[in-house]
Amino acid sequence: MKVEYRACRKCKLLVDAKNCPVHPEEKTTKEWFGFVFIESPDESTLARESGFTSKGRYAIKVR
């Protein structure tokens, strides 16, 4: 079964819920493209530059 991920418009975190766990007031969207998996945010330049502060999947582009 395929999980349809949704992305938070604020932090780009990919979740399978209708709202972001970090921003409960923010509705997630299916309109996103590409994703990165951040394993250790402290050691990742990409994570630092993109503002991804916790481990998880993030969308590269959110509409």
Tell me the H-state helices in the chain. 45-50
Q: How far is the CB of 52 from Zn ion (least distance, A)?
A: 11
Of 63, 57, 47, which Cα lies nearest the Cα of 21? Answer: 57
Q: Indicate whether 10 belongs to the interface with Zn ion (CB under 5 A).
A: yes
Among 5, 15, 23, 36, binds Zn ion (CB under 5 A): 23
- Indicate left, alpha or beta for 34 from its phi (over 0: left) and psi (-120 to 50: alpha): left
Taking CB under 5 A as the rule, does residue 59 contact Zn ion?
no
Chain positions contacting Zn ion, by CB under 5 A: 8, 10-11, 20, 22-23
